[in-house]
Every structure is written in C-alpha cells, then in structure tokens.
Structure 1
C-alpha cells in the first residue's frame, strides 16, 4: 500500500512534542511492514538531523497563493522517503510555529502550503497514494483538499485519515487569514467567525483516529474536547 504521511514535525528532523515521536515511529513501522511510505515535512531552517542539500534537485509544485514552492526528496535511512516542502518565504525562519513573542502570523498560509505541496508533489511525480494520513491541525487540510479535488474531477480520491495528537491546538484562524491562505470557507471549516483547520479535517476525513483509546475517550468529554 502507498501511504503519504503529512505532518509538521517528525523525529529525527524536527520536534516540539510527542507528535514528532509518533509520526517518526509510525513511518518506520509501516515501511518495515512492507508499505511504500512517503513523509511530507516542511523544510525548516533549523533541523535536528540532515535534510536535503541546498543544491539537490527540486520539483516545482503548485501550492496556492504561496510563491516559489518546490519539493526535494531524500531517503530517511529507515525504509521510507521524505518529501521536503521547500518554501523559503514561509519556512526559512526561526521556530517551527513561532517565536517566544508568539505564533507566526502567517501560520494559516504556511501549513496550507505544506498540504498543497504534498498533494502537488504526488501529482507532479505521478505517485498515487492509496491513503493520505494527516496529523493534527497542521496536516488537517489534506482531507479537505482531497475532497475538493474529487469534486473538481481530478480522478479517484485516495482514502484519508486524520490523527488527532493534541486537541488543544485546532488551527483556528480569522477569516481573512484563511482567505489569504487560499482556503475556501465552508460549513466544515467554519467555527463561529473563524476557520478551524482541525474541524475541517475531522468532518471530511474518511477516518479519524487518536493516539490512544484513552485519549479518544478524553476528547469526547466537555472539558478536554475543546469544542
């Protein structure tokens, strides 16, 4: 089975929390089980392990409003490849999500571009995944965009899975930020007067999972569901 993982972090390259540990381990185990796995990650400025070389081949991709987006491919050394979504204007800066002064103000555009870059690379390289597995709000637009593409007649849609690692972070943005990111307003995404990337993923993915049965129970409660 061909599986495209879309995440904002994974060990050993980039980590702020447990998301990175789970994604990195999952890719290794799926590859060891015989699946063809590709992990899409942003090409951040600061990586904890080697990423692509500056002069490595780059495949230009269409990624919405963001300019100069390409994808570079490297091996992981553990049985799967990594697609690095290379958008210097968005990812060549300090901090994965922000600085001590606060979140990056264009995070909606940054992670919409991550998802579009991953999907665009699959088209450009003619690599058709059977499953697209998105992680947390940063990857949650993947099932949204896959459904939009299917309605637009872009061929059979892959199955989509969204895993919630931390429900407290939902990718909630002002409508203007979503528009600037090229994200269409829809009932699935709208939450009050804002847009929630995580909500959109939950409502459009074929399957929604969490990191454990216990966490699945916890986020179904009023206190930890953050609804």
Structure 2
C-alpha cells in the first residue's frame, strides 16, 4: 500500500561527501519513491554545501518564522533543490548562526560544535513547522542520523495534536556513533517545549552522550532499524527491551525489508 513518507536526513549525497549516512540519505528516499510511495525529504543546509553547484534557492513562502531556543529567536530559512538523476526534491533547513557559517556537525579541526544540541532542536522543529505549512500529512516519518534524534520526542509530546502528525508513525534508523563529545549541559533544558517538561525528561541524564540521545529517540519511536552492520548492539537491545518493533540490518538490498517494516508498525 502506497504511503506518504517524510524522510528527515542528517546527510544526503551529492550535497555533502559520501558516507554510509549520506548514501542512505539519498538511497532510501529514492527506493521508496521508485516503489510508488509519495515522499518529502529534508536535511540541514550545512555550511559546506555549495549552493550554486547544488542549485539551491530560498522558498520565501516557507521562510520567515522565528524559533525560540534557549530564550533566543532564531530565524528559519527554507531552501530547496532537486537531485537531477533521481527527481528527488530536497528541502534544506537553514539559519545563519546554526548552519550557514559552519561546517557540518564538526568544525575544521574535527571537533563537535558545542551547540550541536541546539542545532538539532532547531533542525527538528524547523522540519515539522515546514511540513505543517506544506499542508502535507505523512503516514511515516523516518529519521536517519543523530541530528534528527529529537524528532520522535517532538512528534509524540509537542506536535501530537497537530493534524499533520496526529496519526503519523515514527521510524528511527540507528547508525554507528558519530558523536565524539557530549552535548552541552543546556540541551536538556532546551528540549522543554509545549508538553515537553522537565518531568518528561527525568529518566535521562543531565548531560546527553550518544547513548542517551539514542535512548531518547528510541523511547518515542514506533519502530527502530539497525541501518548499518556496525550499529551499536546495546541500542538495538534497549529498543527490544522497551517492546518497540525492531529490524535487524537487512543488508544492501533493504527496500523490501523496510517496506514490510513500515506495514508492520
């Protein structure tokens, strides 16, 4: 059965260098589109993306909203481009402070940016607010990459009564840990939004490392996929312990397994 699937990707080739994550960022939407599903695809507008080469342009009607994070207004800018070979349209979440003047999740010295937690929150909320404006109602939201790890929480606790997301199922793909440092101490406080309160987050440590972030994503997902053969077994075991449906790494020919998993949840 054809579904409407929203892909929230941390990386997509050809806009950023080839990695396992960026490869799947392109391959998964492409496979699902070719299988007859209706898709929308989002990623951050990382500062190393060449806008001219990628033919990105701003979508004025979707831009202009301010998102408040840590008591500061951050303007949301939406850009769009198409991957020519696949006819996949990609929406980019942009902001001068969080993305334009940076590299990706790591700086020029290979160190995680200190405000990566805030950037992840801005990205997640930016995607969800933009989907609302598109008046498009996804059946499935599929998150790939830790930068989207807060999306399941927001869907289930902050946007659950929005018509766009009321009946949406959330799938999280887990990849090997890319984080080299913990998120900033203010991350947990910055997560508080609408019905997400300090009480919502009491089970989590005050400082989030990669495992704590994975647990947060898992707890609010309807299904969890090991998207790589080296995905941390402890994370998948945690998902199983919570009674959440899981899919073991299906190998390179993943399309049918993913479609069956969508139906299962």
Instruction: Give the TM interval when normalised to the shorter protein.
Output: 0.7 to 0.9
Deviation of 1:186 after TM superposition, in Å, equals 5.3
Instruction: Please say if 1:93 is aligned against 2:96.
Output: no
Q: In 1, Cα distance between the equivalents of 2:10 and 2:128?
A: 15
Q: In 2, Cα distance between the equivalents of 1:16 and 1:76?
A: 15
**TM-score, normalised via structure 2 length:** 0.72
**TM-score, normalised via structure 1 length:** 0.83
Number of equivalences: 219
Q: In 2, Cα distance between the equivalents of 1:171 and 1:116?
A: 23
What SS does structure 2 have at the residue aligned with 1:96? coil
Instruction: Please say if 1:173 is aligned against 2:177.
Output: no
Instruction: Please say if 1:158 is aligned against 2:168.
Output: yes
Contact 2:77 2:94 in 1 (8 A): yes
Q: In 1, Cα distance between the equivalents of 2:80 and 2:178?
A: 32
Deviation of 1:97 after TM superposition, in Å, equals 1.1
Per-residue CA deviation, residues 75-126 of structure 1 (Å, 9 max, x unaligned), is 2221322111121111012320122062111111111111111111110111
Within a 5 Å distance, the mapping from 1:57-206 to structure 2 comes to 57=60, 59-60=62-63, 61=65, 63-65=67-69, 66-77=73-84, 78-99=86-107, 100=109, 102-151=111-160, 153-155=161-163, 156-167=166-177, 169=179, 172-180=182-190, 182=192, 184=196, 185=198, 190-195=203-208, 196-206=212-222
Compared CA separation, residues 187 and 16, structure 1 to 2 (3 A): farther
Unaligned runs of 5+ in 1: 222-227
Compared CA separation, residues 205 and 56, structure 1 to 2 (3 A): closer
Indicate which of 208, 219, 225 corresponds to 2:233: 219
Within a 5 Å distance, the mapping from 1:17-36 to structure 2 comes to 17-36=19-38
Q: In 2, Cα distance between the equivalents of 1:34 and 1:171?
A: 40
Contact 1:43 1:84 in 2 (8 A): yes
Per-residue CA deviation, residues 141-191 of structure 1 (Å, 9 max, x unaligned), is 11110001355x323231100000114649842442332465654566853
Q: CA RMSD in A?
A: 2.9
Q: Say which structure, 1 or 2, has more relative contact order (CA 8 Å, 6+ apart).
A: 1
Structure 1 window deviating more from structure 2 (121-130 vs 42-51): it is: 42-51
Deviation of 1:43 after TM superposition, in Å, equals 1.2
